[in-house]
Amino acid sequence: MPTSFFTTFLLLLAVAHAITSEQGTELVRVAQSGCLHAMDWAQASLSLHTGNTSSSSLAVALGDCVELYRDAEPRLARLVSSQSDSVNDAVTWLSGVVASHRSCLDGLEEKGWWFETKEAQNLTFWLSEALAFYGARSNIRDRDKGVKGSPNLNQNGGLLASWDAATAKADIVVAQDGSGSCKKINEAVAAVARMGDNWPERVIIYVKSGVYNEKVEVGRDMKNLMFADDGMNKTVVTGNQNVQDGASTLNSATFGVSGDGFWARDRTFDNTAGPHKHRAVALRVSSDLSVFYRCSVKGFQDTLENSRIRPSPEFAAVKDQFKSYLGRPWKRYSRTVFLKTDLDGLIDPKGWTEWGGDFALSTLYYGEYTNVGVEASTAKRVKWPGFHVLSNPVEASPFMVQNFILGESWIPVTGVPYWPGI
């Protein structure tokens, strides 16, 4: 091949790549503008309804929208301004923004309100276009390279797994008996917020044994925060907010995390509202690159603990009087997979159930792979086209740590044990 031809060919490839990259950036830029408009609309609407007792539940939903868009917009801004983030970063963050937008719309609809229809459709369209653009360019080769442009997590290597209260020193200590610098978790979070420019590479908060009845929010600006506690069922943060009593699903969370690089170990997150209160969240996480080690999450809905599904003690005695399932399609394109999970005598042999008639049955993807326990047999499972018994590692590999969350590029620094593949 002549040198001049080869050089021209490379230049054409470079130009094509630049044009393609600019197309993606422009799609995200338009979506970012729509996100800002949505936030302004939600904030203005919230101002109109704040203090009006007749629309207090609507104000809760609008407040959620403001926070959802406020957390989402910086992700889009980063994709517009940075050229160093990987395609997989873009897919992850855009997926999160889509979920946030959808959560806002669902919350408003739940309260009998709707976002400005045209504006909502436009934002949905541009987010979907941007996600499709980057999704088509995501490939296994990019995954193997790891996540480029991610927060610097190389400091304190192995700290999450090795931290010991007896020998290590925390930046802040929380103890109900007054032996620490704070008595409440929220006081510690407020102290972190006041650090300003004195913020170390990773702030460590040690919470001693006790039941802390608090609603805690770790904001998006609190990056690389670590909680190291005394153990599951020893250090417990608990609450009981729920939808039935006026909270939204989003803000019913006992503990919410938005700041990236969040680590936690040796703690129980709890919501005690009970099944009769419907949606009540113990732990809500929108933090990128977050790790929970030796933690338990306890709730009566939307909670999976320690990859073992079992009835609570008070339900165990009467579980045969009721039917329980792995899931049902609340929305179209519902997607759930259970991998190597202990199904401990609670789940109906059917496995899954309908939301209503044939709604969403043609779009869902439900899967099971090498589960164990009394109800792990798939012989009597539903016969829906979207239900899959994954029969080999190749079929299951897209849902493994190394591919699904690119875990090999950011989990090892924590020191926690994990399994990248099957």
Report the alpha-carbon angle 164-170-172, nearest 5.
140
In the three-class reduction of DSSP (H, G, I as helix; E, B as strand; rest coil), residue 417 is classed as coil
Question: For 236-250, what is the mean pLDDT?
Answer: 92
* Residue 372 DSSP symbol: B
Mean predicted confidence (pLDDT) in 409-422: 90
- Predicted local distance difference test score (pLDDT) of residue 303: 67
Buried b (16+ CB within 10 A) or exposed e, 73-101: bebbebbeeeeebbbbbbbbbbebbbebb
- 10 Å CB burial of residue 408 (0-12, 13-18, 19+) is middle
- Looking at the predicted structure, is the pLDDT value of residue 48 above 90? no
What average pLDDT does this structure show over 173-201? 94
How confident is the model over 9-19, as a mean pLDDT? 41
pLDDT in tens, 265-311: 999 999 999 888 888 999 999 999 999 999 999 987 766 665 678 77
pLDDT, position 276: 86
* % of the chain residues with pLDDT over 90: 63
pLDDT, residue 392, reads 93
Long-range contacts of 407-413 (CB under 8 A, 24+ apart): 408/146, 409/146, 409/147, 409/150, 410/146, 410/147, 410/150, 410/153, 410/289, 411/291, 413/153, 413/154, 413/156, 413/157, 413/158
| H runs (alpha helix) in 194-303 | none
What integer is the mean pLDDT of 399-417?
Answer: 92
Q: Which two tokens stand for residue 385?
A: 């086209």
The rounded Cα 293 to chain-centroid distance in angstroms is 16
CA distances (Å), 30 to each of 25, 122, 125, 128, in order? Answer: 9, 10, 10, 12
Which domains can be identified in the chain, with CATH numbers?
A: 10-145 (1.20.140.40), 152-301 (2.160.20.10), 307-391 (no CATH)
Token couple for 212 = 């802390």
Q: Cβ contacts of residue 283 below 8 Å, gap of 6+? A: 253, 254, 255, 256, 257, 269, 297, 303
Q: What is the pLDDT of residue 310?
A: 77
Alpha-carbon distance values, 69 to 34, 36, 40, 97, 224 (Å): 10, 7, 9, 8, 22
Q: Check residue 55 and give its pLDDT.
A: 67
Most confident of 26-40, 313-327, 332-346: 26-40
Mean pLDDT score across all residues of the chain:
86
Cβ within 8 Å of residue 230, ≥6 positions away: 165, 207, 208, 209, 266
Please tell me the distance from the alpha carbon of residue 129 to that of residue 142, in angstroms, as a whole number.
Answer: 21
Which pLDDT does position 141 carry in this prediction? 41
* Residue in the structure block whose two tokens are 């608090």: 214
Q: Compute the distance between CA of residue 291 and CA of residue 421 in angstroms, rounded to an integer.
A: 17
Q: For residues 22 and 239, which has the higher predicted lDDT (pLDDT)? A: 239
CA 278 to chain centre: 20
The residues near 187 (Cβ < 8 Å, ≥ 6 apart) are 174
Amino acid at 141: R
Q: Count of H helices and E strands in the chain?
A: 10, 15
pLDDT digits (tens, 9 = 90+) for 74-95: 999 999 987 667 888 899 999 9
182: DSSP letter: B
Query: Whose CA is closest to 306, among 274, 344, 278, 335?
Result: 344
SS3 label, residue 56: helix
Start-end of H helices in 248-396:
313-316, 393-396
